[in-house]
Chains A and B, each alone.
Chain A
């Protein structure tokens, strides 16, 4: 049976109806909350955080001039010094202390500015690109229309592929042959093979996650009890019921599928058209009529594309 992609994920521990915090906390709860808050406040910052903080504090202090309530300032003011003056008698004397630059690497002279220039160039390029895009605003509207078309085509393609699978399974059931689930991917028509493959991959991934969790816990000595008496439920809960995923993977995805890759590389419109034609040829089905015609002539259907059905 086709599985829905939105299969319930029991590994996900989100409780939608989790109990809300009580309106009034008890004294014990309050104490616990306070303790937690204090803990998070006094949490040791990581080394990197501390270093970053220290450098930030240094840079800030280096950028802040001494205030006028400084005792030295007051003494200087008595000699006629005002904020913004410089010392001595020459006019071009410095007003700011020499900048402190801590060199952190062995980069040669000019390397820093090279980097800066490169960064600026990239930045400039991005700016230019944005500018160009703005100038081509007319084309932009056109493009959006195209995008919308693509999205709708993609939706139709998905529908068409789902239908193809449904019809295949229906036929198989009637004939008593294996369903899509049980035949190798290669035997599925290229038009809808991608959809099946993606579903299997997704399942495999989920299984892999479960197994990984399982194997991790089993590697811990305290948890690694392979108890003979474990009943079925326990085994399921521990994930021991699953056959290791790599065996299945090995069989189905061991090698790439060049045909599929070629098909997937086509534009969405082309893929849609080929799938629609496939449905008509194989099952006498029209997606837009939503009807499986009894005869190959498909009498009554206006055409292959959606446009024909307007």
Chain B
């Protein structure tokens, strides 16, 4: 629940969702950017300025690698007709050296003969940049106004790969080659190759169930098995049946291709070896008592005894990583002082690290302290971002304790949490592979070979098995998938996960009792938000506070705004107190946002944030998300309004609106103690120590259920039980509650309300 969605911090958002129905119910394709290709008036023919015939001699799906190479050699750009630059030529030379190049004919043969193809290429094979171009020369999408799509699990990858390929093809980014990520569309009428996030393609499918603007769809990095890729695979499996003209390529970096082949009706496989060096693997003789300590020991030992080469250590989270960096630094100082080792620099790497600091990991290792002295070394202590997402050259040693933080969801107690868990064998192999990028390397696994074989699962669980699916179910409904039970996913989740998602959507009034989308559901699916947040936002005008809820929704969609550095906690807490609203964390966050937007703060917002221990990046991002959501609201004609600040109901209205979305995340205090009990799931929880709320509030809504050795609820605000009964009567149907404290408390409230109403009636 309440997962944080990634938003873009650029302002390039363009209204994506246009109502497809106007007053008379006809499809208004002219105004729909997705449906531009339906429109006969718009010229989709690319203007080749007379030289387009370079490729017009090509017969679609009957070209050869030789033909394509000749065209690539120029002298004119086959796609634009312009002369080719020197840079193009030098890149072309390198491209021809890539491993995939040797198998271009083989690839074309399979591509032409089959509708679906599974392509396996290890990291460094060049598949992400080359295969889509090979496709262009044979599929010739420009000839019939189609496009080739290539999906990426990550936004950054989509952007950077598109940039690279635009250079390789000697075209402007956003011209023949473009990209599309959430809130940013860098494509034009000329675009024939579009890199995009898998989530973006899924959104497009909502408006165009057949994805009819594409002639070939390439799902890249399919081995990562993101939620969106899994859903897309299920969807495309149906689409290829309806559209014989559509070609589909599944690209994976690992050799578990059999599973993909089987899933796609025994599609043929093409494998290209990567360019990697051998990696020697070492195991520990016995299980480690403390994997962090063992990791630090190993790193220092490598530094003291092994040859030149950088070290990559995998740990699980920010705190652990920062702590490890400090300790390695301290110990290394001793080693250097005793002249037992060369200089050492340590860099942390995790998702929430500011980009500038992330960039530091690419700086070279320090030089020896004196000429001819021991060589310096760089150590990167990273989460599993460095496992696949980022490639750091120069790594020769990998230290792998075998853990990572993984999202888990359990529908029985409705908790989605990040937990430290053992990695899979595939993950361990991937980590080891990082040591062999530049030259033969070594990987130190901090567990026994027996443990590796017997305790690690083969493949990591795909995201679809580890997520709350309420958002996905809403999307699938919008995608026209009616039979959710038999929807053909590669790894279907447990039935209870679907059950819970349907139930949640029903209580949120997004699905009716038959499981059909309601008007509210359709509206909610248009917001790039979790259903609870979307519903809260859509219903907020009823509580006269849509401006505030809009801000709050944005704040809940970005990383933590409060900064609490380990060495300055007291001061940070004092600063937070300035914004504290006694009724809860949501209102406190809202106070922060309002202060941030004040003239005084905007004079120098960066400094202001620094002074007040707030994350400038998060607030800026929130500001941007707010703008994007505001546009959707305006388009949907949802009124933006506020209760006057002087009105004593100002904050109460916001709290009521909160209940309208989060009534399923409510807890009641047990007796007079510190513990709370979650409504319906009856889980005993504590308020997270970061809360501003005093322990005196009986009922609270919470944004997150955090699972650790203790159960915590985080970001909480006090509410009144009357509101629960009033705003969410279906969920708070007292007769359906289990006997107990919560039921009797609700009963008392209900009786009280009834009596008051009766008194009012008499008057």
A residues engaging B (CB < 8 A)?
42, 44-45, 50-51, 53-54, 57-58, 61-62, 64-66, 70-76, 78-81, 85-90, 93-98, 100-111, 113-114
Q: How far is the CA of A51 from the CA of B709 in the complex (A)?
A: 9
**Closest CB of chain B to A61's CB: distance in Å?**
5
Contact A61 B681 (CB under 8 A): yes
- Can you give 24 contacting A-B residue pairs, CB < 8 Å? A42-B672, A54-B675, A54-B684, A61-B681, A72-B498, A73-B499, A78-B514, A80-B486, A81-B495, A88-B489, A88-B492, A93-B492, A97-B496, A98-B494, A100-B417, A102-B707, A107-B289, A108-B284, A109-B287, A109-B402, A109-B422, A109-B452, A111-B287, A111-B289
User: Is residue B288 contacting chain A, with contact meaning CB distance below 8 A?
Assistant: yes
Of B40-48, B70-78, B291-299, B615-623, the one with at least 4 CB within 8 A of chain A: B291-299
Given contact pairs A57-B682, A58-B684, A72-B506, enumerate 17 new A-B contacts (beta carbons under 8 Å): A42-B671, A53-B684, A54-B711, A61-B413, A66-B500, A72-B500, A72-B503, A75-B515, A79-B486, A87-B489, A87-B495, A88-B486, A90-B491, A103-B403, A103-B420, A108-B287, A110-B448
Which residue of chain B has its CB nearest to the CB of A60?
B682
User: Is residue B608 contacting chain A, with contact meaning CB distance below 8 A?
Assistant: no
B287 contacts across to A, CB distance below 8 A:
107-111, 113-114
Q: How far is the CA of A106 from the CA of B296 in the complex (A)?
A: 13
**Closest CB of chain B to A112's CB: distance in Å?**
8
B284 contacts across to A, CB distance below 8 A:
108
Contact A62 B412 (CB under 8 A): yes
**Closest CB of chain A to B674's CB: distance in Å?**
8
Contact B711 A64 (CB under 8 A): no
Contact A76 B455 (CB under 8 A): no
Given A76-B502, A104-B709, decide whether A113 and B683 contact each other with a Cβ distance below 8 A: no
Option from A62, A64, A100 in Cβ contact (under 8 Å) with B419? A100
**Closest CB of chain B to A63's CB: distance in Å?**
8
Q: Which 6 A-B pairs have the closest CB atoms?
A: A108-B288, A88-B492, A110-B451, A72-B502, A72-B499, A87-B492
**Closest CB of chain A to B392's CB: distance in Å?**
24
Which residue of chain B has its CB nearest to the CB of A67?
B499
Q: Mark B633-672, 1 if CB is under 8 A from A, else 0.
A: 0000000000000000000000000000000000000011
In which size bucket is the chain B interface?
Answer: 35 or more
Option from B485, B507, B709 in Cβ contact (under 8 Å) with A76? B485
User: Is residue B461 contacting chain A, with contact meaning CB distance below 8 A?
Assistant: yes
Given A88-B489, A107-B287, A109-B455, decide whether A95 and B413 contact each other with a Cβ distance below 8 A: no
Q: Indicate the member of B293, B493, B494, B709 with the most A CB atoms within 10 Å.
A: B494
Interface residues of B in 383-442 (CB under 8 A from A): 401-403, 408-413, 415, 417, 419-422
B293 contacts across to A, CB distance below 8 A:
106
Interface residues of B in 466-523 (CB under 8 A from A): 466, 483-504, 506-507, 511, 513-515
Contact A110 B685 (CB under 8 A): no
A70 contacts across to B, CB distance below 8 A:
499-500, 503
Q: How far is the CA of A101 from the CA of B408 in the complex (A)?
A: 10
User: Is residue B710 contacting chain A, with contact meaning CB distance below 8 A?
Assistant: yes
B685 contacts across to A, CB distance below 8 A:
54
Q: How far is the CA of A194 from the CA of B209 in the complex (A)?
A: 97
Option from A44, A90, A97 in Cβ contact (under 8 Å) with B410? A97
Contact A57 B684 (CB under 8 A): yes
Contact B494 A94 (CB under 8 A): yes
**Closest CB of chain A to B17's CB: distance in Å?**
26
User: Is residue B597 contacting chain A, with contact meaning CB distance below 8 A?
Assistant: no
**Closest CB of chain A to B403's CB: distance in Å?**
7
Contact B486 A89 (CB under 8 A): yes
Which residue of chain B has its CB nearest to the CB of A112?
B287
B671 contacts across to A, CB distance below 8 A:
42, 44
User: Is residue B4 contacting chain A, with contact meaning CB distance below 8 A?
Assistant: no
B residues engaging A (CB < 8 A)?
284, 286-294, 401-403, 408-413, 415, 417, 419-422, 446-448, 450-452, 454-456, 461, 465-466, 483-504, 506-507, 511, 513-515, 671-673, 675, 681-685, 707-711
Contact B456 A76 (CB under 8 A): no
Contact A111 B419 (CB under 8 A): no
Contact A61 B419 (CB under 8 A): no
Q: How far is the CA of A250 from the CA of B412 in the complex (A)?
A: 67
**Closest CB of chain B to A101's CB: distance in Å?**
7
B503 contacts across to A, CB distance below 8 A:
70-72
Q: How far is the CA of A284 from the CA of B43 in the complex (A)?
A: 134
Instruction: Tell me the dominant secondary structure on chain A's binding face.
Output: loop
**Closest CB of chain A to B587's CB: distance in Å?**
28
Contact A109 B456 (CB under 8 A): yes
B409 contacts across to A, CB distance below 8 A:
97
Option from A51, A58, A103, A113 in Cβ contact (under 8 Å) with B455? A113
B497 contacts across to A, CB distance below 8 A:
97
Q: How far is the CA of A53 from the CA of B447 in the complex (A)?
A: 34
Option from B290, B483, B711 in Cβ contact (under 8 Å) with A79? B483
Contact B513 A75 (CB under 8 A): yes
Option from A50, A80, A109 in Cβ contact (under 8 Å) with B684? A50
**Closest CB of chain B to A96's CB: distance in Å?**
6
A78 contacts across to B, CB distance below 8 A:
514-515
Contact A71 B707 (CB under 8 A): no
Contact B485 A61 (CB under 8 A): no
Option from A51, A94, A104, A108 in Cβ contact (under 8 Å) with B290? A108
**Closest CB of chain A to B731's CB: distance in Å?**
10
**Closest CB of chain A to B681's CB: distance in Å?**
6
Q: How far is the CA of A90 from the CA of B420 in the complex (A)?
A: 30
Option from A74, A104, A110 in Cβ contact (under 8 Å) with B447? A110
B454 contacts across to A, CB distance below 8 A:
113
**Closest CB of chain A to B294's CB: distance in Å?**
6
Contact B495 A85 (CB under 8 A): yes
B420 contacts across to A, CB distance below 8 A:
103
Q: Indicate the member of A61, A64, A72, A113 with the most B CB atoms within 10 Å.
A: A72
Q: How far is the CA of A189 from the CA of B431 in the complex (A)?
A: 78
Contact B408 A88 (CB under 8 A): no
Which residue of chain B has its CB nearest to the CB of A62?
B412
B675 contacts across to A, CB distance below 8 A:
50, 54
A51 contacts across to B, CB distance below 8 A:
709-710
**Closest CB of chain A to B676's CB: distance in Å?**
10
Contact A101 B288 (CB under 8 A): no
**Closest CB of chain B to A195's CB: distance in Å?**
51
B292 contacts across to A, CB distance below 8 A:
106
Contact B492 A86 (CB under 8 A): yes
Which residue of chain B has its CB nearest to the CB of A79?
B485
Contact A108 B291 (CB under 8 A): yes
Contact B493 A87 (CB under 8 A): yes
Which residue of chain B has its CB nearest to the CB of A97?
B494
**Closest CB of chain B to A87's CB: distance in Å?**
4
A79 contacts across to B, CB distance below 8 A:
483-486, 515
A71 contacts across to B, CB distance below 8 A:
502-503, 506-507, 513
A42 contacts across to B, CB distance below 8 A:
671-672
Which residue of chain A has its CB nearest to the CB of B316?
A103
Given A88-B486, A98-B461, decide whether A76 and B291 contact each other with a Cβ distance below 8 A: no
A96 contacts across to B, CB distance below 8 A:
494, 496
Q: How far is the CA of A98 from the CA of B408 in the complex (A)?
A: 8
Contact A95 B495 (CB under 8 A): yes
A104 contacts across to B, CB distance below 8 A:
709
Q: How far is the CA of A108 from the CA of B292 in the complex (A)?
A: 8
Q: How far is the CA of A49 from the CA of B421 in the complex (A)?
A: 27
**Closest CB of chain A to B256's CB: distance in Å?**
15
Contact A109 B403 (CB under 8 A): yes
Q: How far is the CA of A86 from the CA of B489 in the complex (A)?
A: 12
**Closest CB of chain A to B481's CB: distance in Å?**
11
A66 contacts across to B, CB distance below 8 A:
411-412, 496, 499-500
Option from B294, B421, B487 in Cβ contact (under 8 Å) with A108? B294
Contact A98 B410 (CB under 8 A): yes
Contact B511 A75 (CB under 8 A): yes
Contact A58 B683 (CB under 8 A): yes
Q: How far is the CA of A114 from the CA of B403 in the complex (A)?
A: 17
Q: How far is the CA of A159 from the CA of B131 in the complex (A)?
A: 102
B487 contacts across to A, CB distance below 8 A:
87-88
**Closest CB of chain A to B513's CB: distance in Å?**
7
